[in-house]
């Protein structure tokens, strides 16, 4: 989180993340170019520039598949959550690798074209009426254009300028870019040569991503539909029992409209806030309280417990909700309070605190 | 907002999971087949033309 815009706010985690990523890219390219020709006759019989374009093309597909798998994996198993932290750098590097592939293609096939390279690319194949002969280059160009736009707009400046809903909507176009990449590979490389490894990477990756996204979506949908029980004392809803909340952590309830509410327990008090981080809609209730601040598990954005505002100089805010205890049941009024409303945590009675403290260890 | 986002997300992936395998099946089914009586040595083999990217 930042109060001013800098190209990248580096920290140790980001440096390690990017270091591992770059090392992985270098290792893949070296293995592909050096071991590939030894293992595959298809690579041995082609020129080095073609080997290079295949190396970068297949790497772009692999990286895009991994980028798209990180989100649902983190939803299904929280151990994948650290991969989300710097996913944008992963995406930007994917766009750079894809652009390098395109550069090799233009340089090899259209170097001596009498027309400009891009014109030649778009006019060299006009078999629009053929299915198998359809110009696969168009799908690749479309996917690359989307990846470049997403890479350029990945900075928090654009997130703030475009607002999170619009930014999110634009960045969901990466799914269509992925579909275009699959068609590009199928119509191009896979029809041209029956490459087992590339086929597995394309079709296996597609199957894996569809399963992961649909399973994660189904679980989320089930949580949405299981709205928290209402009480006779409407509009209050029962979010859970105070004994279920570990110190510094939260339980998550769902308002009748489906919006989720997180109730945090800190130092004998309960505070209810929206489960939606104002940065990128991260699930705040799956985060924890760090140094007295609710901390989003995705990118570390922080909010005060008492008013849902980020500490100065930051300006992010989330909505707060009224919370109360009925016995040990935690009740929340699903009507959100205006942004910035100050509401002190509700104290957990001493006897409840004592009886529930041992149920769950400290987070 | 999370809920709407999730619905759109689920709709997109359901469509992709149905449409992409169908399109791939159509593409590979419509690929030109080499006739049974085609000569064994051909000029359009990979080693002859260098192949696509």
Q: Is B31 near chain A, with CB under 8 Å?
A: yes
Q: Which residues contact A12 (CB under 8 A, 6 or more apart)?
A: none
Partner-chain contact B53 A220, CB within 8 Å: no
Residue A363 lies in a domain: no
> Do A315 and A189 belong to one domain?
no
> Do A63 and A171 belong to one domain?
yes
Nearest to A46 by CA among A27, A33, A62, A31: A33
Question: By the 8 A CB rule, do A273 and A261 touch?
Answer: yes
Q: How far apart are the first and last CA of chain A?
A: 24
Which residues in chain A touch residue B1, judged by CB atoms under 8 angstroms apart?
164-165, 259, 276, 281
Look at residues A224, A252, A275 and tell me which one is the last residue of a structural domain.
A224
What's the CA gap between A261 and A113, in Å, rounded?
A: 60
Give burial (CB, 10 Å; 0-12/13-18/19+) of B14. Answer: middle
Residue A7 lies in a domain: no
> Do A202 and A132 belong to one domain?
yes
Give burial (CB, 10 Å; 0-12/13-18/19+) of A180. Answer: buried
* Domain containing residue A293: 229-357
| pLDDT for the residue numbered A331 | 93
Distance from CA of residue A203 to its chain's centroid?
A: 22
Per-residue pLDDT tens listing for chain A (363 residues): 555 666 777 788 889 999 999 999 999 999 999 998 888 877 888 888 999 999 999 999 999 999 999 999 988 988 888 888 788 899 999 999 999 999 999 999 888 888 888 898 898 888 888 898 899 999 999 999 999 999 999 988 888 888 888 888 899 999 999 999 999 999 999 988 878 889 999 999 999 999 999 999 998 888 777 666 777 777 889 988 988 898 999 999 888 877 889 999 999 899 999 998 988 888 898 888 998 899 998 888 899 999 999 988 888 899 999 999 988 899 999 999 999 889 989 998 888 877 665 555 444
pLDDT in tens, B22-36: 999 999 999 888 777
What's the CA gap between A83 and A90, in Å, rounded?
A: 9
Q: Identify the CATH number of the domain in which residue A241 sits.
A: 2.102.10.10
| pLDDT for the residue numbered A363 | 40
Side-chain half-sphere of A226: how many Cα atoms within 13 Å? 10
Separation in Å, CA of A199 to nearest CA in chain B: 11
Residue A187 lies in a domain: yes
Which residues in chain A touch residue B12, judged by CB atoms under 8 angstroms apart?
172, 175
> Do A80 and A158 belong to one domain?
yes
Work out how many CB contacts closer than 8 A connect A with B.
99
> Do A153 and A235 belong to one domain?
no
Residue A2 lies in a domain: no
Position B51 pLDDT exceeds 80: no
Q: Is B21 near chain A, with CB under 8 Å?
A: yes
What's the CA gap between B41 and A85, in Å, rounded?
A: 54
Which residues in chain A touch residue B10, judged by CB atoms under 8 angstroms apart?
213-214, 217-218, 221
> Do A160 and A263 belong to one domain?
no
Nearest to A267 by CA among A281, A286, A246, A283: A246
Q: Is A353 near chain B, with CB under 8 Å?
A: no
> Do A244 and A167 belong to one domain?
no
Position B45 pLDDT exceeds 70: no
Give burial (CB, 10 Å; 0-12/13-18/19+) of A226. Answer: exposed
Predicted ipTM > 0.90: no
Partner-chain contact B27 A53, CB within 8 Å: no
> Do A269 and A348 belong to one domain?
yes
Residue A1 lies in a domain: no
> Do A118 and A146 belong to one domain?
yes
Both tokens assigned to A94: 């994917």
Pairing state between β A288-290 and A269-274: unpaired
Q: Is A189 near chain B, with CB under 8 Å?
A: yes
Look at residues A224, A254, A272 and tell me which one is the last residue of a structural domain.
A224
How many domains does one find in chain A? 2
> Do A218 and A242 belong to one domain?
no
Q: Which residues pair with A333 in a beta bridge?
A: none
List the alpha helices (DSSP H) in A125-269: 136-152, 156-162, 164-171, 174-185, 191-192, 196-199, 205-225
Residue A4 lies in a domain: no
Q: How far is CA A42 from CA A80, A181, A192, A355, in A?
A: 36, 21, 11, 69
Partner-chain contact A46 B26, CB within 8 Å: no
Helix (H) or strand (E) holding A241: strand A237-241
Residue A253 lies in a domain: yes
CB interface of A with B, residues 273-302, below 8 Å:
275-276, 281, 283
Helix (H) or strand (E) holding A93: helix A87-109
Look at residues A190, A224, A258 and tell me which one is the last residue of a structural domain.
A224
Number of neighbours of residue A238 by Cβ within 10 angstroms: 15
| pLDDT for the residue numbered A324 | 92
Side-chain half-sphere of A165: how many Cα atoms within 13 Å? 5
Peptide bond into A235 cis (omega under 30): yes
- Which of A175, A182, A259 is opposite residue B3, by nearest beta carbon? A259
Residue A48 lies in a domain: yes
> Do A29 and A140 belong to one domain?
yes
> Do A202 and A272 belong to one domain?
no
Nearest to A292 by CA among A267, A313, A318: A267
């Amino acid at each position: 989180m930042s109060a001013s815009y800098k190209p990248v706010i580096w920290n140790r985690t980001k440096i390690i993340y990017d270091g591992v990523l770059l090392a992985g890219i270098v290792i893949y390219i070296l293995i592909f170019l050096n071991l590939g020709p030894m293992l595959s006759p298809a690579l041995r019989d082609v020129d080095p520039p073609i080997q290079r374009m295949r190396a970068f093309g297949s790497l772009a597909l692999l990286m895009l598949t991994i980028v798209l798998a990180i989100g649902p994996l983190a939803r299904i198993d929280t151990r994948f959550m650290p991969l989300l932290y710097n996913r944008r750098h992963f995406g930007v590097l994917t766009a750079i690798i894809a652009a390098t592939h395109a550069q090799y293609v233009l340089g090899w096939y259209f170097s001596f074209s009498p027309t400009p390279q891009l014109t030649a690319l778009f006019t060299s194949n006009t078999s629009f009426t053929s299915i198998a002969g359809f110009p696969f280059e168009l799908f690749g160009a479309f996917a690359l254009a989307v990846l470049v736009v997403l890479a350029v707009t990945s900075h928090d400046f654009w997130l703030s300028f475009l607002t999170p809903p619009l930014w999110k909507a634009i960045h969901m176009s990466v799914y269509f870019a992925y579909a275009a990449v699959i068609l590009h590979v199928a119509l191009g490389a896979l029809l041209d040569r029956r490459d087992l490894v590339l086929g597995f990477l394309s079709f296996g990756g597609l199957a894996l991503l569809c399963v992961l996204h649909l399973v994660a979506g189904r679980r989320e949908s089930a949580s949405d539909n299981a709205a928290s029980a209402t009480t006779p004392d409407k509009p209050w809803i029962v979010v859970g029992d105070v004994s279920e909340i570990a110190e510094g952590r939260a339980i998550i309830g769902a308002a009748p409209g489906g919006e989720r509410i997180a109730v945090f327990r800190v130092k004998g008090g309960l505070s209810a806030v929206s489960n939606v981080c104002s940065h990128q809609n991260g699930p705040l209730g799956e985060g924890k309280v760090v140094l007295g601040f609710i901390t989003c598990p995705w990118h570390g954005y922080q909010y005060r417990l008492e008013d849902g505002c980020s500490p100065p100089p930051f300006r992010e805010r989330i909505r707060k909700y009224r919370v109360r205890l009925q016995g040990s049941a935690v009740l929340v009024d699903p009507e959100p309070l205006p942004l910035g409303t100050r509401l002190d945590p509700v104290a957990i009675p001493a006897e409840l605190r004592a009886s529930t403290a041992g149920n769950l260890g400290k987070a | 907002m999370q809920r709407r986002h999730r619905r759109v997300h689920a709709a997109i992936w359901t469509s992709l999971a149905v449409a992409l395998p169908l399109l791939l099946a159509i593409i590979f089914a419509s690929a030109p087949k080499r006739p049974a009586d085609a000569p064994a040595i051909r000029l359009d083999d990979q080693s002859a033309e260098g192949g696509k990217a």
